[in-house]
Amino acid sequence: MSETSPFKGKTGVKRILNATGYSLAGFKAAYQNEAAFRQIILLNIILIPLTFFLNVSRAEQAVMIAACLLAIIVELFNSAIEAVVDRVSLEKHELSKNAKDMGSAAQFVALSIIAMTWAVILLIK
């Protein structure tokens, strides 16, 4: 018996096209269903272009942008965790609460990375 998922099977360009479609669907679902994701996108729409007008090196600009994009990644994971927890059960359970709280804590860390990165680069020169 094969150990691979029955949902796997596409290879090459077809796999890449399918993966791209799944990724776009994920972005769409997050944007439509998650207010926190929309807020992180808005923050990035403001902060990333701002880096082009600041007196920072290219390396500093890249780090500032990377910190912003990290928050998007973390929010996608956080939203995915919340969706799975809710899919399993809407019943209040300590493990469900822990999972959601840990996802929220991860996003707090990501936002703290943005704040600290920008502060170090802009304020400590």
**CATH match of 13-124 with 3.90.1150.10:** no
Whole-structure pTM value: 0.85
First and final CA of the chain: distance in angstroms?
61
Which residues lie below 8 Å from residue 26, measured CB to CB, with a gap of 6+? Answer: 76
Q: Domain segments of the chain: what residues?
A: 13-124
What stretches in the chain show pLDDT beneath 50?
A: none
pLDDT of 11 reads: 78
Mutual angle of helices 35-50 and 58-88, in 10-degree steps: 180
Q: Could you confirm whether 75 is annotated as catalytic?
A: yes
The verdict on whether residue 94 carries a ligand-binding annotation is no
Query: What pLDDT does 47 receive?
Result: 98
Selected catalytic residue, list 3, 60, 75, 94: 75
Judge whether 82 is annotated as a binding position. Answer: yes
Confirm or deny that 58 is annotated as ligand binding. no
C-alpha to C-alpha distance for 21 and 32, rounded to whole angstroms:
16
Residue 38 confidence (pLDDT): 98
